[in-house]
Amino acid sequence: MDIKNIKRLKSLTGVGLTDAKVALAEAKGDFDKALVAMRKKGLTKAEKRGEREARAGVIGSYLHDGRIGVLVEVNCETDFVAKNKIFIDLVKDLSMHIAASAPEYVSEADIPKVVREKQAKEFTEKTKTDGKPEKMIKNIVEGMLNKYFAERCLLSQPFVKNPDTTVGDVVKEANAQLGENIVVRRFSRMQLGEIS
């Protein structure tokens, strides 16, 4: 078995050398198969870490052409990880993503109830006007709400550098690589001439 592939798998997933070696053996030397398996394993561990306190971290910033400015607070558990290149690059990427995609909320949990209810009412009226069957309206509206808010929540948006994955998955991958709970706490985006 190629030691280069073992080390590469370790660095991409944040698992130990032994785990990387076992994963490659189980995948019969197929690096891509092993990578997929280890990412799934790493993401599962990352989700369990989500309950741990994350109070260290950094406030990252991004200025685009003097016209768009972003501040984002990303937390982790230790100062050691806050100074890690993977974490710093994640914060930079998040700042640029926010500048480009203009999300309104970090996640669906941050959407005020009144905003959700107003949007639900609007979609319900539209669905009724479109003549959809009464018994299907609730499900149709729920689907419309999910799509509408997924486009407006940072963690649900397709990541600008790789639209095949969401921002939330990018954060989970960093979490798996660094072995700490990582939380996007809040952000602020300003655009020249825009009134909020």
Render each residue's pLDDT in the chain as its tens digit; 196 residues: 677 777 776 666 666 677 778 887 888 888 778 777 776 666 555 555 555 667 789 999 999 988 999 999 999 988 899 999 999 999 999 999 999 999 999 998 888 899 889 998 888 888 888 878 788 888 888 888 889 988 999 999 999 999 999 999 999 889 888 888 899 999 999 998 877 6
CATH number, domain at 166?
Answer: 3.30.479.20
- Same-domain check for residues 13 and 30: yes
So what's the pLDDT on residue 84? Answer: 92
So what's the pLDDT on residue 13? Answer: 65
So what's the pLDDT on residue 36? Answer: 75
Sign of CA dihedral 11, 8, 92, 45: negative
Containing structural domain, residue 67? 56-106+152-191
3-state per-residue secondary structure call for 46-109: HHHHCCCCCCEEEEEEEEECCCEEEEEEEEECCHHHHCCHHHHHHHHHHHHHHHHHCCCECCHH
Cα distance between residue 52 and residue 123, in whole Å:
38
Count structural domains, the chain. 3
Q: What is the DSSP letter of 44?
A: H
- Same-domain check for residues 26 and 42: yes
CATH number, domain at 11?
Answer: 1.10.8
CATH number, domain at 126?
Answer: 1.10.286
130: in domain: yes
Cα distance between residue 21 and residue 29, in whole Å:
9
- Same-domain check for residues 67 and 124: no
Cα distance between residue 139 and residue 133, in whole Å:
11
What are the residues facing 70 on neighbouring strands? 62, 189
